[in-house]
Chains A and B, each alone.
Chain A
Amino acid sequence: MAPILEVHDLTFRYAARPRPAVQGITFSVEEGEMLLIAGPSGCGKSTLLRALNGLIPRSYRGELQGAIRIGGVDPRTWPLARLSQQVGTLLQDPERQIVAADVLHDVAFGLENLGWPRARILERVDEVLHALGIAHLRDRPTFQLSGGEKQRVALAGVLAMAPRILLLDEPLASLDPQSAQDALALFRQLHQEGHTVLLVEHRVEDAMKARPNRVLYLEEGRLAFDGDPEAFFERVDPTAVKVPFPVWLRRWPAVRERGKPAVEIPPADPTAPSLVVFENVSFGYGDGPDVVREVHAEIRRGDSLAILGPNGAGKTTLLKLAMGLLKPRRGRVWVGRKTTREQTVAEIAHIIGYVFQSPSQMLFAPTVWDEVAFGPRNLGQSPEQIETHVRWALELVGLLDQARSSPWALSFGQQKRVTIASVLSMRSRILVMDEPTAGQDYRAYMQLMDAIAEIAFGPTRAVDALVFITHDLDLALSFANRVWVVADGRLIADGPPEIVFSDPEVMRRGRLVPTSLLEANRQHWTRTGRFQRAERLAELLQGTPPAHPA
C-alpha cells in the first residue's frame, strides 16, 4: 500500500531569513501510523508542520523546495478547503485555535465554512463531542473552559472535518499533568481507531505514553533520527531531551563528564525569617465567588518554593496578591513589615520581583538593554547602579551579547530570559516567576533554572528566596526545597517535595501525575535522604545494586 504521506527532500527558507528553517527532510508515513516528531526549540518542527498543513506556502512566504504528497497527490494543487479535510491541525495553544464564542459554534466552524447543511453539521458536532467525552460542554462559552477542556474542544473542531492525517503541535504545552495524561490517552485512542497521527512534542518522555510507532528527531532543520522509540532513547543526548529516568541512569556514564556541577539547594529552613505572610487570605474577582480561599502561609528566606496545581486553581492570583496587584477580600498579606494595603506596587517591587508568564505582555523597549534598565529606573536607582545591575542581570541570563538587539527579534526562549533579567536588575529580594520554563526545550530550561538557582543559592546569594509556578513536577523536584499545591483556591499542601509528592490525596487533588524521576526518588529516598534531580540521583545510584521498592 502506498504511504498516506510522503515528504521528499523538503527545504524551506522564510522570506526574511538568510538560512533555511528545514533542509532536506525526507520521510513517509503509512496510513494509521503514529509518529512522534521531536527536537529542541528552533529545530524546524513548526515549519515542517506548516508545510504539511498548507500554511506554507499559502500564508508564509519563502522559498520552498522538494515535494510533499498526500495519498500520492501534491497538496499544493488543492484548494485549502480540500486540504483542511485531508490534514487537520491542532495548534500548540488551544487559545489560538478557538475562534467562536461557544463550544457548539467552534466545533461547527470548519463545517460551516465548507457549507454543510445545518442538520448534518449538528449531527456531526454531537457525534464528535460524544466521541471525545465532552458532550456536556456543548453550550458553554469557550473562554470559560479549563485548559484541558479548551484543548478537547479545539481537537473536536479539527476532527469534525474528518481529516485523514492529524497534526498535533506541542499539545501538552499548556496542560497540567493530569490533563496532559488524559490528552495522551485520547491521542492513543485516536490512533487505535485508525487515525494517522503526527504528534510534535518536545516533552518526549510524556509523549511516549501515547505509544508512537516511530520517532523523527529534528536538529537545526535537519532530520537527525527516524526510527523506533527504543532505538531513539539509546541514540539521543539525554541532556538535550528529557528521557525516562531508567534510560537516563543507563546513559549517565557516557554524559557524566559533560554535566556541569549545579549548585546545591539546601533544605528549606522553617525557622528562617518570613518575607511574605498570607494571613487567612481570601479573594474573588468583582462580585464573583472566592478564587483564593483562606490561605495561611509564609514565604521565608532560603525558600525555593514551587507552586503547583491545576489550571485556574488560583496560583497566579495568589502571587498577584503578594505583589499587591490584587487586594484581599478578607485577611491580609504582609510583605516586609507592611501589608499590601499600606504600600504601592512600586514599593513592593523593591522586595518582590515578579516575572509574568508571557514575554509579549511586557516587552516594549527598542533594545534589550533598555528593557532590562526599565525596572531599575522606575525604582529610582542611580545611573551607576543601573549600569551595574543591567550588566549583571544580562550576564546571568547569558544575553549580554544581545544587549543592543531588539527584544522582539529574539527567540521565545531568549525573550523569556530578557523578562527574567528585567526583574533581576531591580535587585528585589524575592524572585517570583510564573511558568519560567514554558515554551522552552529541556536543555534550555534546565540551563536557565541552573542559572537562577545559582543566583539564589550560589556564593553571591543575590536573592533571598525563589518562587516559581510550574506544571512540571520534575522541575519542582529538581529545583524546589518547598512545594505548595493549590487546588480550587485552597493551599492543600505545604512542605518539602519528599512529603508533598508522597501524599496520594494531594497528588490526586492537585492533578499531579508521578514521573519516572519521582518514582525513582521515592524508591531510593531512604538511601538518598531527600529527593534529588536526575543527575545527582544517577550519580548516587551508579555502581550500587538496585534497591527494593519500599
Chain B
Amino acid sequence: MLVTWPYRRRGSFLEAFDPRARLLFALSLMLSTLFFWDARVLAGLWALALLYFRLNRLTWRETRRAWLFTGFVALVFVTITFLTGRGGFEVYRTERLLARLSLPLTVFGWTPAVNITVERMFFAVSQMCRMGTVITAAILIPYTLDPTQYGVVFRGLGLPDKIAYAMDLAFRFIPTLGRDAMQTMDAQRARGYELENIRGGPLAQIRRLAPLVVPVTLHALMAAEDIIDAMDLRAFGVGRRTWLTELRFRRHDFLLLGLSAALFFGSMAAAAMGFGRFWTP
C-alpha cells in the first residue's frame, strides 16, 4: 500500500485557498527564477518563497531532512560550478580576478588551482538563490497538499482522469519507495552488508549496490502490478469518473491566481526588457 507524505493541517490562513491555486503559486515562484541571473532579484524571490513557506506554518524541525538533503545537493552543484568556473560562461564574458589559490603540488606537470573572481562569486550566489527558491517552493508541496486531493487537483488542472490518478499514485509512490528502500537496507544490513564499506571502481561500486537496488526495484514493479489489479477489479478507467472531492475556485483563490500570473508574466516581461540580467557590483 502506498504511504503518504507527512501532511497535516497547520491552521494557516493559506489552507482556506484552493490547493490548485496554492500549487500554481508555488510553480510560478519556481518558474520565475528562470528569467533572472541578478542575485538581488533572485534573493528577493527566495525571500518571497521563504515568506510563503513561513505563512504555511511549516517549521524547520519537521522539514529538516528534506532541507539537509536538497541543500547538500545544491551546495555540491554550486561548489563544482564555482571551482570549475564553467557554469557562468554564458552570462558573463570577462572576469575580475580577486585571488588565485593553488595547491602546493604538481600532478604530471599540472598544478591544481582555482581563480576567485567577482563574477564567479556572484554567479554562485545567484545559483544558490535560484535553487533555494525552487527547493523552498518544492518542499512546501508535499507538506501542505492534502494527499486525498492529489488526484482531483491534477484533474482540476485539466489533466484527464487516468493521468490525474496516475499523478496521484506517482506522488505517493515516492515516499513508499523510500520506506521500501529502508526495509531492504535493514534486511541486507542484517546480512552483514555495509553501504559505507563499498569499495572498488565505479562499476564495482554499482554492482555492490545491487543488494539494495534489485529488491527495491522488483518490489516496486510487483507493487505496481498489485495496484493495477486492485484498480481494475473496482472498474477503474471504464468511463468518465466522479471525483468525490469537489474543488471550486472562490474569490480569494482568484486573487492568488492573479498574483501567480502577475509574478510569472511580470518576470517574463521584465526579462524581455533586459531587467534582471547578471549583475556584479
Chain B residues positioned under 8 Å from A363 (CB to CB): 214-215, 218
Contact bitstring A100-143, B, C-beta under 8 A = 1, else 0: 11101100111111111110011000000000000000000111
Contacts of A354 in B (CB 8 A): 190
Contact of A362 among B184, B192, B223, B233 (CB under 8 A): B184
Contact of A161 with B229 at beta-carbon distance under 8 Å, contacts A112-B243, A349-B192, A378-B194 already known: no
Give chain A interface residues in 352-408, CB to chain B under 8 Å: 352-354, 356, 358, 360-365, 374-375, 378-379, 408
User: Which residues of B in the span 125-183 have a Cβ within 8 Å of any Cβ on A?
Assistant: 147-148, 150, 169, 172, 180, 183
A contact residues around B34 at 8 Å (CB): none
Taken together as a complex, chains A and B put the C-alpha atoms of A54 and B232 apart, in Å, by 9
Contact digits for A156-174, partner B, Cβ 8 Å, 1 yes 0 no: 0110010000000000000
Main DSSP-derived SS at the A contact region: helix
Are B191 and A113 in contact (CB-based, < 8 A)?
no
State A91–B230 Cα separation when bound (angstroms): 8
B15: chain A residues within 8 A (beta carbon): none
Q: B178: shortest Cβ distance to chain A, in Å?
A: 13
Q: Of B1-9, B45-53, B73-81, B255-263, which stretch is located at the interface? A: B1-9
- For chain B, residues 41 to 85, give those with C-beta under 8 angstroms from any C-beta of chain A: none
Q: Report the minimum CB–CB distance from B144 to chain A (whole Å).
A: 15
Could you give, for residues 210-244 of chain B, a 1 whenever the CB lies within 8 Å of some chain A CB and a 0 otherwise? 11111100110011001111111111111111111
Contact of A346 among B189, B212, B244 (CB under 8 A): B189
Contact A356 B234 (CB under 8 A): no
Check A116/B1 contact, CB under 8 A, given A55-B229, A99-B231. no
- Residues on the A chain within 8 Å of B231, using CB: 99, 109
A323 touches B190 (CB 8 A): yes
Which residues of chain B have C-beta atoms less than 8 A from A353's C-beta?
190
Nearest residue in A to B186 (C-beta to C-beta)?
Answer: A325
Nearest residue, chain A, Cβ from B238: A81
Mostly, the B contact residues are: helix
Highest count of chain A CB atoms <10 Å: which of B1, B3, B212, B227: B1
Task: Check A112/B242 contact, CB under 8 A, given A55-B229, A325-B190.
Answer: yes
Looking at the assembled complex, report how far the CB atom of A27 sits from the nearest CB atom of chain B, in whole angstroms: 22
Q: In this complex, what residue of B is CB-closest to A111?
A: B242
Set of chain A residues within 8 Å of B4, measured between Cβ atoms: 101, 141, 143
In whole angstroms, how far apart are the Cα atoms of A122 and B245 in the complex?
11
Residue among B190, B235, B236, B237 with most chain A CB within 10 A: B190
Q: Please state if A374 and B1 are interface contacts (CB–CB under 8 Å).
A: no
Contact A98 to B1, CB < 8 A, known contacts A55-B232, A349-B192, A362-B188: yes
B246 part of interface (Cβ distance < 8 Å): yes
Is B35 among interface residues, defined by CB-CB distance under 8 A? no
CB <8 Å contact, A378 and B191: yes
- Of all chain A residues, the one with the shortest Cβ separation from B227 is A99
Q: Which residue of B lies closest to A154 (CB)?
A: B230
Pull 16 A–B residue pairs with CB atoms less than 8 Å apart, ordered by A: A54-B233, A98-B1, A101-B4, A109-B231, A113-B239, A116-B242, A141-B4, A157-B234, A345-B192, A349-B191, A353-B190, A362-B191, A362-B211, A364-B212, A422-B191, A423-B190
Spell out B's residues near A (CB within 8 Å): 1-4, 147-148, 150, 169, 172, 180, 183-184, 186-194, 210-215, 218-219, 222-223, 226-246
